[in-house]
Structure 1
Amino acid sequence: MPVRLSSTGLVLDGQQPVQNLLRFLDTVMRGIGQVMLQNNSYTGLLFLLGIFCNSVLFGGAVLVGTMVSTLTAILLGAKPTLVRDGMFGFNGALVAIAVIYFLQPNALTWAYVILAAACTTVLMAAMLRLFDVWKMPVLTAPFVFTALCFLLACARFGRLQSTHVLPTAGLPRAAAIVEGIVTTSTVLEGLFNGIAQVFFQGSVITGVLFAIGLLISSRRVFIIALLGSLTGLLVAWGMGAAEPAIRSGAFGFNSVLTAIALGGVFFVLDKASAAYTLLATVATAIVFAAVSAALEPLGMPALTLPFVLVVWLFVLAGPMFPGLRLAGDA
């Protein structure tokens, strides 16, 4: 049969126009799934559905960003296997939704989205080549660097207007008191919002759909993601973070990504790697607070930079600890 279903998506053998279109759409879905390191088009479809359930605008942005960054890779002749696995799509998805989230949507902003998504492909290719020397993952670094650059540039572009979601530029403010009381409702909402916030979505329903998408890809990753979100939430609660921030999942999404990366992708899961992953996940919540404070004077968000920094550090250190086994060496 020219079209078959596999455990991770469509398998297409021919090169007919319809098959090429289906292959491209499947690749786009894989790109969306790769935001949480899942090469699975069903997962990507659930992620996209979850975003559309919360916002048609954000759903459209993710779709446009992923398609543009993927098409850019194809037109520039990137390695087909990397393209097919969605490796050039996920940074475009994130940068597109970030631009639309932080800037007022108009024709110029959408042009800005397209340009930013295309740039993530070039930056991804450059970092893949550079990081191959150290056998390190690029992760969402192209998204972080591109988004920060494009958002900072708006300070000199008068036709691009902020949605006023960006942090107010100024010296970091100290938390003089613990704001709000954390309840069971806070924990339950924060648990799923922590997963939803990976795509800038503050919706429990969206978080549940994301979790189902992860479950379709891997039961282990599903559990790890929930534990990652819970860990970030508990660290924030224990350290006295504001209740609204805990409820919104602000301290959870970077920890979710760190937990998935270390516990579900880069290391063989055993007692040693589980403890290592837990340490990294806790550290990620602290690094998120630090990076947020560091970028506040610039009026910039932390995005997924805490996840990137912590995973780089822990993956780079991994070979020095004999008790840890890299997934590729298993």
Structure 2
Amino acid sequence: MGKKIYAQSNHDSEYVRCVYKMSDIISRRQRMPWFWPDFVYNYFGEGWEHQRNLKVLHSFTSKVINERAENINYMESESESDQGVRKRRAFLDMLLKTTDDQGNNLTHQDIQEEVDTFMFRGHDTTAAAMNWAIHLIGAHPEVQKKLQQEMHEVFGVSDRPINTDDLKNLRYLECVIKESLRLFPSVPFFARSINQDCKINGFKVPKGANAIIIPFSLHRDPRHFPQPEEFRPERFLPENNVGRHPYSYIPFSAGLRNCIGQRFAIMEEKVILASILRNFTVEACQKRVDLCPLGELILRPEKGIWIKLEKRNQQL
């Protein structure tokens, strides 16, 4: 967003604490239907705590947006004059310059919703996805061997930084990430409102009903993924994707309200996982049955994931 909050060095960041606190509060409320009515939740539940944390989150993003909006023209002219090279704009800058079909800029409320989505749901989901992927890679040496071979083909024995072209060439790593998300989607469920009467398996579902979609179960449909509990990244090679139903695999949701950051998430995972695999061999210290996934806002292992890292010899 073009704003530094030093979250990694400041372990007592109020914004970061409120992000995690809100995740816990929302998850608890979802599991307690008697707290769904606002007046009951505010009087008997954590309503006041919810509002206090929400105020911190919204105040922070609102302040960042206002500051950026006031200075964006100055920053653009400064970046253009910097040795004649135009710098890349922050995501927030692009939102501030975005217009609709009528040429109107997005309102600050519209922008705040997008920023909150990126800030609130854009870090923990990716971290969880990489967590599961590291375990699966460490538990399947044959997959890890193919990944390290791909690393050698792309990077050789160099330790240069990863660039955009490298990301395009890490095709098997992308298959591994997708298969990890099939087995352990970061968001274990999401909801949609039905906007017209329809039939599902012969049952009439009326307009206005709420549908809960559970990718964790959907991704285990043997009609689309034979032997669904097996970790097989080859499922996502182009030749094996042919004819598969487009909604059989939806770790980032689907349709008009799909995840705004799914491409960025895959790129981020590729960079970090490739950096680990270029330098280390990974060994899983747990069996999959011992992980006990917890379906909260984010799908997490109950007791965390334990791995061993062994420094690699780059010479193959």
Shorter-chain TM-score bucket reads under 0.3
Q: TM-score, normalised by structure 2?
A: 0.24
Larger Rg computed on CA atoms: 2
Quick check: which one's helix share is greater?
1
